[in-house]
Amino acid sequence: AVVGDDCELGEDVVLHAQVTLYAGVRVGARSILHAGVRAGVDGFGYVYADGVQRKVPQVGGCVIGADVEIGANTTIDRGSVGATEIGDGVKIDNLVHIAHNVRIGEHSIVVAQVGIAGSATIGRRVTLGGQAGVNG
């Protein structure tokens, strides 16, 4: 695993092979991140200025609660401003993408290949079925 600057890991966190935590990611106690998880990745934000696309700096954080399990090759963007937040007890399957500033409520389940667009809010104890798309 690669753990960036200023990351915080709670007790008994498990990081499997090839996990990358970008700077400032917080992971709560007893959480498990499977192979290839990327958390705190720069969000996808662009604006047109002078007829060209310009990247918008993504300066927020990424907070993963306690007792969370994240499946292989899932990506979680950092917030553009503020934090992307994964609540306590959330279970995320393989190959999920969670964009900037998303909030997922505690004890929710996100099944494989779900894509959650920027700034979407998912409530507590929600289940998102495979290949669902959520617009922010």
* 71-113 tens-digit pLDDT: 999 999 999 999 999 999 999 999 999 999 999 999 999 999 9
Q: How many helices (DSSP H) and strands (DSSP E) are in the chain?
A: 0, 21
Residue 55 φ/ψ, nearest 5 degrees: -70, 135
- DSSP character for 100? T
Q: Which structural domains are found in the chain, ordered by start? A: 1-88 (2.160.10.10)
**pTM for the structure as a whole:** 0.96
Report, as residue numbers or ranges, the catalytic residues: 100
Q: Tell me, what's the pLDDT at 31? A: 99
